[in-house]
Amino acid sequence: SQQGEEDPQALSIQEGENATMNCSYKTSINNLQWYRQNSGRGLVHLILIRSNEREKHSGRLRVTLDTSKKSSSLLITASRAADTASYFCATDAWGGSEKLVFGKGTKLTVNP
Protein backbone atom coordinates (compact mmCIF):
# COMPACT_ATOMS: atom_id res chain seq x y z
CA SER A 1 0.00 0.00 0.00
CA GLN A 2 1.18 3.52 -0.69
CA GLN A 3 2.57 5.46 2.23
CA GLY A 4 3.64 8.70 0.57
CA GLU A 5 1.51 10.70 -1.83
CA GLU A 6 3.09 13.46 -3.89
CA ASP A 7 1.27 16.57 -4.94
CA PRO A 8 0.87 17.79 -7.61
CA GLN A 9 0.98 14.81 -9.94
CA ALA A 10 2.42 17.03 -12.67
CA LEU A 11 4.03 20.46 -12.67
CA SER A 12 5.15 22.56 -15.61
CA ILE A 13 7.25 25.70 -15.08
CA GLN A 14 9.66 27.98 -16.93
CA GLU A 15 13.40 27.84 -16.51
CA GLY A 16 14.53 30.03 -13.65
CA GLU A 17 11.33 29.59 -11.64
CA ASN A 18 11.14 27.64 -8.40
CA ALA A 19 9.40 24.27 -8.24
CA THR A 20 7.69 23.02 -5.11
CA MET A 21 6.50 19.46 -4.66
CA ASN A 22 4.72 18.11 -1.62
CA CYS A 23 4.53 14.70 -0.02
CA SER A 24 2.05 13.51 2.58
CA TYR A 25 2.29 10.27 4.49
CA LYS A 26 0.14 8.36 6.94
CA THR A 27 2.17 6.76 9.72
CA SER A 28 5.11 7.71 11.89
CA ILE A 29 8.46 7.63 10.18
CA ASN A 30 12.15 7.55 11.03
CA ASN A 31 13.17 9.40 7.92
CA LEU A 32 11.87 10.61 4.59
CA GLN A 33 13.81 10.63 1.35
CA TRP A 34 13.43 12.27 -2.03
CA TYR A 35 14.50 10.63 -5.27
CA ARG A 36 14.63 11.76 -8.85
CA GLN A 37 14.00 9.67 -11.96
CA ASN A 38 14.75 10.69 -15.50
CA SER A 39 12.37 9.06 -17.96
CA GLY A 40 12.80 5.28 -17.92
CA ARG A 41 16.01 5.44 -15.91
CA GLY A 42 16.92 4.34 -12.41
CA LEU A 43 16.06 6.50 -9.43
CA VAL A 44 18.73 8.72 -7.95
CA HIS A 45 18.81 9.66 -4.29
CA LEU A 46 18.58 13.39 -3.66
CA ILE A 47 18.24 13.99 0.04
CA LEU A 48 17.30 12.28 3.31
CA ILE A 49 15.70 14.12 6.20
CA ARG A 50 15.31 12.52 9.60
CA SER A 51 12.22 12.79 11.75
CA ASN A 52 14.00 15.08 14.21
CA GLU A 53 15.02 17.52 11.47
CA ARG A 54 12.80 20.27 10.12
CA GLU A 55 14.76 21.50 7.12
CA LYS A 56 17.67 20.40 5.01
CA HIS A 57 19.52 21.91 2.07
CA SER A 58 21.59 20.44 -0.71
CA GLY A 59 22.67 22.81 -3.47
CA ARG A 60 19.48 24.15 -5.09
CA LEU A 61 17.33 21.71 -3.15
CA ARG A 62 15.52 22.53 0.07
CA VAL A 63 13.50 19.93 1.91
CA THR A 64 11.21 20.57 4.84
CA LEU A 65 9.54 18.07 7.11
CA ASP A 66 6.53 18.67 9.34
CA THR A 67 5.92 15.53 11.37
CA SER A 68 2.83 17.02 13.05
CA LYS A 69 1.19 17.34 9.64
CA LYS A 70 2.89 14.23 8.25
CA SER A 71 4.10 16.15 5.26
CA SER A 72 7.27 17.16 3.47
CA SER A 73 8.08 19.53 0.66
CA LEU A 74 10.87 19.62 -1.91
CA LEU A 75 11.80 23.00 -3.32
CA ILE A 76 14.04 23.29 -6.36
CA THR A 77 15.22 26.85 -6.79
CA ALA A 78 16.20 28.49 -10.08
CA SER A 79 15.10 25.46 -12.06
CA ARG A 80 16.83 24.33 -15.22
CA ALA A 81 15.63 22.29 -18.20
CA ALA A 82 17.87 19.49 -16.91
CA ASP A 83 15.69 19.29 -13.77
CA THR A 84 12.89 17.82 -15.90
CA ALA A 85 12.19 14.45 -14.28
CA SER A 86 9.85 12.66 -11.92
CA TYR A 87 10.37 13.19 -8.21
CA PHE A 88 9.42 10.66 -5.58
CA CYS A 89 9.25 10.76 -1.84
CA ALA A 90 9.93 7.59 0.13
CA THR A 91 9.26 6.80 3.74
CA ASP A 92 10.44 4.06 6.03
CA ALA A 93 7.17 3.29 7.72
CA TRP A 94 6.45 0.13 9.65
CA GLY A 95 9.53 0.19 11.74
CA GLY A 96 12.49 0.13 9.48
CA SER A 97 14.23 1.17 6.32
CA GLU A 98 13.97 -2.37 4.96
CA LYS A 99 10.50 -1.51 3.65
CA LEU A 100 11.04 1.87 2.09
CA VAL A 101 7.74 2.84 0.47
CA PHE A 102 7.51 5.20 -2.47
CA GLY A 103 4.81 7.57 -3.55
CA LYS A 104 3.59 7.78 -7.15
CA GLY A 105 5.71 10.79 -7.95
CA THR A 106 5.45 14.32 -9.32
CA LYS A 107 6.34 14.75 -12.97
CA LEU A 108 8.20 18.06 -13.34
CA THR A 109 8.69 19.71 -16.71
CA VAL A 110 10.96 22.72 -16.91
CA ASN A 111 10.52 24.59 -20.17
CA PRO A 112 13.55 26.43 -21.61
Partner 1 sequence: EAQVTQNPRYLITVTGKKLTVTCSQNMNHEYMSWYRQDPGLGLRQIYYSMNVEVTDKGDVPEGYKVSRKEKRNFPLILESPSPNQTSLYFCASSPSSGENTGELFFGEGSRLTVL
Residue 74 CA, distance from chain mean position: 5
Q: Are 19 and 87 in contact (CB under 8 A)?
A: no
Q: Is 103 in the site for partner 1 (CB under 8 A)?
A: yes
**Residue whose CB is less far from partner 1, 5 or 15:** 5
Q: How far is the CB of 87 from partner 1 (least distance, A)?
A: 12
**Residue whose CB is less far from partner 1, 25 or 35:** 35
Q: Is 80 in the site for partner 1 (CB under 8 A)?
A: no
**Residue whose CB is less far from partner 1, 2 or 14:** 2
Binding site for partner 1 (CB under 8 A): 1-2, 31, 33, 35, 40-45, 48, 88, 90, 92, 97-105
